[in-house]
Amino acid sequence: MPLPTYADHLTWRRYQDFFPVGMRCTPASQPIESYWRWRGLDVHLDRLAVPTSPVKVIVLHGAGAYGRVMAPAAVTAQRHGYETVAPDLPGYGLTRVPRRRMTYDLWIDCVCDLIDAELARDPRPVVLFGVSLGGLLAYQAAARARRVVGLIATTLADPREDAVRRDFARHPLLGRAGLWLLSKLAPLTDGVPLPMAYISKMNRLSNRRELSALAASDRLGGGSWVPARFLRTMMTTAPACEPEAFDVCPVLLAHPGVDRMTDIALSRRFFERLAAPKRMVVLDGASHMPTEQPGVDQLAAAVLEFMAALNLPRRAASETDDLSPVHQRPLLPHGMRRLG
């Protein structure tokens, strides 16, 4: 049976009207789809290739989106000369996974091994860019893999803290007692499917009510049901190193200024603990899923300044680069299969 593509799942197109015009997918900027065979799973990848890019940016979604919804970041990066790869993490988008296997650790493992696969594909260094929960995931992967040259996040908060758990949950009681019960009753509850739209504050993903409603109803993203095991492990997994010992790479935290989903104070607390070179900017007028001005322009400017400061040389395009969307190969290096 052929693997699915976003030509068959068109909900992602409904997000486009909410994005600034210059960040929308067009026929020229639509990502090229492929699958990466990893640990028995087919992990869907969106790639916007730039042969002269000095780095590859792996763009990580959170619990309310998937790789194709991250296209605005990829489109902006491509316009400024940077290549991106956006995975659908297991259980989201087009990446299917048996419920019994879906844990937050699986997400971290997936990103760490994707870093290795991209470094093996060609020698360009990797930067991680995480949006929402993807910010914490980027930190977790960078701390474990230690093979990235930069880390960008729109939020950073430690879910082991009670305040962060309360802030994450849609209802205060769930944040206080519900997650505690999930840990205590794990053998009984781990396999129970839970709706993300009712567990988390998906209704606050954006300050534009229609965009929040779209994400919350999208069964590939915020409208998905995840096993309780995923939430439990997300809230309890310790990083490979604490922020006070994190010296892997520079960090940019670009937190939305009008974020009603993650309290900026919680991100600031994590940020202040970081030992690495770091910078924090606040995106004026932007909500948790930043689509508003001037915040999105400030985000682009901060990211471009951060990337330039890495001082990485531009790469000469190779004759062997396979970057054309019309060229098809049945197999890309390290199990990455191009879709037609």
pLDDT confidence of residue 18: 96
Helices (H), 34-160: 71-79, 104-121, 133-145
Residue 6 has pLDDT above 60, yes or no: yes
Residue 336 has pLDDT above 60, yes or no: no
Taking the model in full, what pTM does it have? 0.92
pLDDT confidence of residue 168: 85
Whose CA is closest to 34, among 301, 238, 340, 339?
Answer: 339
> Residue 11 corresponds to which tokens in the numbers above?
């909900």
**Domain ranges, ordered by start, for the chain:** 11-164+242-338
- Mean pLDDT score, 202-223: 96
- Mean pLDDT score, 80-105: 97
Cα gap 46→143, rounded to integer Å: 24
Tell me the one-letter amino acid at 9.
H
- Tell me the pLDDT tens digit for each residue of 170-180: 776 565 666 66
Torsion region of 246: left, alpha or beta (phi above 0 gives left; psi -120 to 50 gives alpha): beta
Q: Which CATH superfamily is domain 11-164+242-338 in?
A: Alpha/Beta hydrolase fold, catalytic domain (3.40.50.1820)
- Mean pLDDT score, 294-314: 94
Q: What percent of the chain has pLDDT over 90?
A: 79
pLDDT confidence of residue 306: 98
Residue 12 has pLDDT above 50, yes or no: yes
- Mean pLDDT score, 230-253: 95
> Residue 128 corresponds to which tokens in the numbers above?
């991680």
241 CB-side CA count, 13 A: 15
